[in-house]
């Protein structure tokens, strides 16, 4: 790697948030650091997903976002609060793709880890995860390509082989590629969390290597900070990474002991709102914290929730959520509500070939009445309350022709346009399913007819509050910690949400 100076990261004496799919996103990583973790790993992100993403500076959130160009979702989001402490874990089976990912992201992460321990069928079929342990030439090629390409440290995370001597031999081969550390999960590829972790095997690997070994797999015996230190000692290592114990209560990293779960959830949701985390991801993480409590009254409310506002209301953060989302909306944060297909050109938007303001229908040119309303299934527990059903009944009662639906698909997103009683209605919100797109368009129509009330839709998260006029005082905005700060609205913030392409 000519012309680049390698950065150094000391992997000794570290308590680490392990990589966890759907859990290791930005709010959880920040919370782990806040509670005392030294390093935090991202969830495993597959190489090709990163390679089709675009890097964006998100000035509203103060983050760096990598955006999937096919559907506008955030593949990876980071912020200055985790600089120097966030490790990107990638799933890969190709040296060229791994190197390309490393080159693409090395400016935004502290180190790169290659997943060589995931036993899931998806990873194995793709030659990734634990499959790499049984394809040593490929595994070494991936690590060597990364080490030679990037200036930041490279590591890998493995599982034990059935024979400990084979594990030691493998680990030495991987060490020879120039990696800076290696994580060892103390179970084989066929063993599961209910099986005992092999601390002695991890200790033998640690003794045989010259680079730091990070012990992993002890969550069954870890409930406190001191338990992590004990697990590291028993494994003969100086560092430990924790997955499920942190998933259950991430305050396990606190030297003074874990906090009550409600306090942890409340803080987690605050960070989720602050960093505009996808509601589905936040809901999943809170579910993992609640575990058996999902059957409690609070747990049932969570399971019925579909928006960040609905979740925050459970833990008395609803006002904070609504205020923050409005601030971001005013500032032009290009969030899910502003999502439109990446392949939809500006010309198509302007000339109305897809969701424009005027289109021909049965030879007539009709304006489209648009509202930024999304369909949230949890808001309509009974099928008889669904927007399309309500619109059908409205038409029958008033002896009107039934609504006609036209659905357009672009990339992975859908938009519906309704013709009803001589007018056309559509939501500016691109949905991820045809059915939801039709229901959203029906909601727009029902709002215009007065059947559905705006205040109700705003309260349940389906609709944003209207923007204040330019120059009017805004709601409270928030700094990176989630604390409130006041400011005046700037004129250049007053832009239509639909004018933005995704973040």
Choosing from 118, 321, 339, 445, the catalytic residue is 118
Give the whole-angstrom CA distance, residue 456 versus residue 304. 17
- Angle, helices 279-290 vs 261-274, to 10°: value is 170
Tokens of 49: 């997903």
Give the whole-angstrom CA distance, residue 216 versus residue 197. 9
Total Cβ atoms within 10 A of residue 124: 16
- Residue for token digits 């007065």? 450
Helix (H) or strand (E) holding 369: strand 364-371
Helix (H) or strand (E) holding 427: strand 423-427
- Residue for token digits 């559905």? 452
HSE-CB for 127 with a 13 A CA cutoff: 11
Give the whole-angstrom CA distance, residue 221 versus residue 287. 21
Q: Is the four-CA dihedral 232, 235, 237, 242 of positive or negative sign? A: negative
> What are residue 374's phi and psi, to 5 degrees?
-105, 155
Cα three-residue angle 345-346-347, rounded to 5 degrees: 90
Q: CA gyration radius for the chain? A: 25
Q: How far is CA 324 from the centre of its chain?
A: 18
Closest C-alpha to 237, from 9, 16, 8: 16
In three-state secondary structure terms, 196 is: coil
- Angle, helices 261-274 vs 26-35, to 10°: value is 130
Give the whole-angstrom CA distance, residue 122 versus residue 116. 13
CB 11 within 8 A of CB 155: yes
Q: In 323-334, which positions are buried (b, 16+ CB within 10 angstroms) versus exposed (e)?
A: bbbbbbbbbbbb
The answer to whether residue 118 is catalytic is yes
> What are residue 214's phi and psi, to 5 degrees?
-105, 115
**Alpha-carbon torsion angle 125, 142, 49, 67, nearest 10:** 160
Give the whole-angstrom CA distance, residue 11 versus residue 404. 62
Task: Catalogue the active-site residues.
Answer: 118
């Amino acid at each position: 790697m000519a012309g680049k100076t390698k950065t150094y990261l000391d992997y000794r004496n570290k308590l680490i948030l392990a990589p966890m799919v759907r859990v290791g996103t930005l709010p959880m990583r920040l919370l782990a650091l806040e509670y005392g973790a030294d390093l935090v790993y991202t969830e495993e992100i597959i190489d090709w997903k990163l390679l089709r993403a675009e890097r964006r500076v998100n000035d509203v959130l103060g983050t760096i976002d990598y955006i999937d160009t096919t559907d506008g979702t955030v593949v990876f989001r980071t912020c200055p609060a985790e600089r120097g402490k966030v490790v990107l874990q990638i799933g890969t089976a190709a040296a060229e793709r791994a190197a390309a990912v490393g080159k693409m992201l090395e400016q935004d992460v502290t180190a790169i880890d290659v997943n060589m321990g995931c036993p899931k069928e998806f990873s194995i079929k793709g030659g990734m995860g634990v499959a790499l342990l049984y394809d040593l030439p490929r595994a070494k090629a991936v690590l060597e390509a990364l080490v030679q390409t990037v200036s930041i440290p490279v590591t890998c995370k493995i599982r034990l082989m059935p024979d400990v001597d084979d594990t030691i031999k493998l680990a030495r081969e991987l060490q020879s590629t120039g990696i800076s550390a290696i994580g060892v999960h103390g179970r084989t590829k066929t063993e599961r969390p209910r099986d005992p972790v092999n601390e002695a095997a991890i200790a033998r690997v640690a003794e045989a290597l010259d680079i730091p070994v990070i012990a992993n797999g002890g969550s069954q015996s870890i409930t406190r900070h001191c338990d992590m230190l004990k697990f590291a000692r028993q494994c003969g290592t100086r560092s430990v990474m924790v997955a499920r114990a942190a998933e259950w209560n991430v305050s396990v990293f606190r030297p003074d002991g874990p906090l009550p779960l409600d306090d942890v959830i409340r803080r987690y949701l605050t960070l989720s709102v602050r960093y505009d985390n996808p509601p589905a991801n936040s809901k999943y993480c809170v579910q993992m914290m609640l575990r058996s409590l999902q059957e409690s009254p609070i747990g049932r409310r969570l399971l019925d929730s579909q928006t960040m506002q609905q979740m925050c209301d459970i833990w008395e953060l609803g006002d904070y959520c609504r205020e923050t989302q409005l601030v971001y909306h005013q500032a032009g944060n290009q969030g899910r509500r502003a999502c439109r297909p990446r392949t939809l050109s500006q010309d198509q938007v302007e000339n109305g070939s897809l969701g424009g303001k005027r289109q021909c229908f049965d030879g007539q040119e009709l304006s489209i009445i648009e509202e930024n309303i999304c369909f949230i299934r949890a808001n309509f527990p009974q099928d008889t309350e669904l927007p399309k059903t309500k619109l059908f009944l409205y038409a029958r009662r008033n002896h009107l022709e039934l609504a006609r639906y036209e659905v357009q698909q672009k990339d992975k997103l859908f938009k519906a346009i309704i013709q009803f009683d001589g007018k056309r209605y559509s939501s500016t919100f691109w949905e991820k399913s045809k059915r939801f797109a039709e229901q959203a368009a029906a909601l727009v129509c029902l709002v215009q007819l007065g059947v559905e009330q705006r205040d109700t839709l705003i309260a349940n998260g389906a609709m944003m509050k209207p923007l204040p006029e330019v120059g009017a005082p805004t709601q409270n905005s928030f700094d990176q910690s989630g604390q409130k700060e006041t400011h005046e609205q700037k004129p250049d913030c007053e832009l239509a949400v639909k004018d933005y392409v995704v973040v």
